[in-house]
A and B are shown apart, each in its own frame.
Chain A
Amino acid sequence: MNEGSLEERIGEWRNFLRRRQAVHGVDVDELEDHLRGQVADLSEAGLDDDEAFLVAVKRLGDLDSLSGEFAHEYSERLWKQLVLSPNGADDAASSASRDGIVAILLAVAAGAAIKIPELFGQHLGGAEPATSFYVRNVFLFVLPFLAGFFAWKRNLPPSNLLWLGAPFLTAALVMNGLPFQANSHTELLSALHLPIALWLTVGFAYVGGRWLQHEARMNFVRFSGEWFIYYVLIALGGGVLIGFTVFLFQAIGVDPEVWVGEWMVPCGTAGAVLVGAWLVESKQSVIENMAPVLTIVFTPLFAILLLFFVGTMIWTGNAIDIEREVLIGFDLLLVVVLGLLLYSISARDPVTPPGFFDRLRLALVVCALLVDVLALWAISARIMEFGISPNKVAALGENMILLVNLGWSAVLYTRFLAGRGSFHALERWQTGYVPVYFVWAWIVVAVFPILFGFR
């Protein structure tokens, strides 16, 4: 055996060892030094390289018990840690801390921006016109900062900044320029759909302007899921913080209600949007993504729920009883099912052959479609009877969009399970569908008010 192949074998051995999570790179270096010392001694004693290598590796112990021993000593290494400023890698450390500073500055700016309207007498929680001002504009005080963060992080070229700024400007004009009637349905609908429209605009900055690429869009989908989970966690922590603020100050006879209600909650809610985004950005690839983990837990549970629901409906012969809000409920059900599908797709290796979970997901989607069609059947009769309203049209439109998405997903999934299609087609269908949400959200925001006369 010549020198080259000894190096090769040591290299291979290093790679095997490196894959063990409990054994870090420097430990591998140290063990390699040991291995080489042993090999050199054994060669001197007359063994050839091949034999010396085998004996030396055997003496070091098999990889499983070795890494087990390391894991025993370094239990924390088995938990992937989010280290925001890793020491050692200087470049990574300085860029991570720079990201952090920018994100926190922008979070503070967003928290401050949300209070700016008060300088002009638009008091949050005050009289009616001011509250309505906030309802219409709240996202315009937060999401531009998030878009700005990603524009900065991705070095968005100036020509793209125009594309990024235009939707925000349009939104500001629509929300404040259109003559909404007080407390009108169209005003509320616009306000509810504005975050969806603007979030996808943030996505344009997130993908660094490469929004035509399938992978870039999928990354934004992943980001959105993780951001949502982080935001909920931060909100939970914030709730505890607020609880203690109230408890502590009341204990000394000071009422913190105004401070909490007018500063902590609004500024914190706004700032957390940026902090959450920054955390997701810096933890990417460090920690397991949470959204796909949740889908594994909840996909079977929702599938069972829907199966039993359909079963019960058939058994009892009860039709869906139509109340006013029921359509929104079924829209939300489809959103949840779509989320379960989307986030399991986002984490799935496309080349893995179909498995049990794939069948389960298809069953979930088919059940959801069935339930939704039954609901639509019942609702459409009602709509014919009472005529259209902006709320009904919006809910019905969303239902259609989701139904088309899930319907075609079911077809693609069936093809994949039957071995007649690739999983990739399903992924592309989902990312290709994102602009539909974008366009629909903008239609509800900007066209509905005009269409329905600002009612």
Chain B
Amino acid sequence: MDIGKDLVAASATPIVLAILSEGESYGYAIIKRVGELSRGELQWTDGMLYPLLHRLERRSYVEAVWGKSETGRRRKYYRLTTAGIEQLASQRRQWQIVDSAMRGIWFTAGDAAPQPG
């Protein structure tokens, strides 16, 4: 299924922050993790991840260090900062509000919504 461009853009920040909350990571691994989490449904143009990571770095949500990959190449690793953890928590609350509002409307509308477990 194709997910709308705006929705992909809006969800990118919380997804990247959440993935980094699992531990330090680098660009390609983050993209792979996004694929795993969405079972391949969420397709990003890979290159677009980097401007996003740099923006998060500039806002001090993440910090970056240059390290080495397994093959000895230079690789940039990103890790969440305290401000990033706070930002993730705030984003999470916002998404939960959106999520619960949607669940509410979808149940009353009696649409093909997933049954509560």
Contacts and interface: CB of A to CB of B under 8 A. Distances in A.
Contacts of A73: 51, 54-55
A70 B51 CA distance: 6
Q: How large is the interface on B (under 10, 10 to 19, 20 to 34, 35 or more residues)?
A: 10 to 19
A36 B31 CA distance: 14
A61 B27 contact: no
Interface stretch (B73-81, B83-91, B92-100): B73-81
A60 B47 contact: yes
Contacts of B45: 59-61, 65-66
Interface in A30-75: 30-31, 33-34, 36-38, 59-61, 65-66, 69-70, 72-74
A181 B76 CA distance: 76
Contacts of A74: 54
B74 A59 contact: no
B50 interface: yes
Contact of B69 (A27, A31, A33): A33
B73 A60 contact: no
Contacts of A72: 51
Contact of B28 (A29, A38, A65): A38
Contacts of A31: 47, 50
A259 B55 CA distance: 50
Contacts of B41: none
Contacts of A27: 50, 54
Contacts of B29: 37
Contact of A30 (B31, B48, B50, B55): B50
Contacts of A30: 27, 50, 75-76
A407 to B, nearest CB: 56
Contacts of B31: 34
Contacts of B24: none
B26 interface: yes
B46 A34 contact: yes
Nearest to A72: B51
Interface string B4-38: 00000000000000000000001111010000000
Nearest to B58: A73
Given A73-B54, A73-B55, A74-B54, A33 B48 contact: no
B46 A60 contact: yes
B73 A66 contact: no
Contacts of A36: 73
A66 B47 contact: yes
B74 A69 contact: no
Contacts of A66: 45, 47-48
A335 to B, nearest CB: 49
A33 B28 contact: yes
Contacts of A60: 45-47
A69 B69 CA distance: 26
A26 B51 CA distance: 13
A59 B46 contact: yes
Interface in B45-76: 45-48, 50-51, 54-55, 69, 73-76
B51 A69 contact: yes
B17 to A, nearest CB: 17
Given A31-B50, A59-B45, A61-B47, A37 B28 contact: yes
Contacts of B73: 33, 36
Nearest to A29: B74
Nearest to A59: B46
Contacts of A38: 28, 46
A63 B97 CA distance: 37
7 contacts: A26-B76, A33-B27, A33-B74, A34-B28, A61-B45, A66-B48, A69-B51
Given A36-B73, A65-B47, A73-B55, 17 more contacts: A26-B76, A27-B50, A30-B50, A30-B75, A30-B76, A31-B50, A33-B27, A33-B73, A33-B74, A33-B75, A60-B45, A61-B45, A61-B47, A66-B47, A69-B48, A73-B51, A73-B54
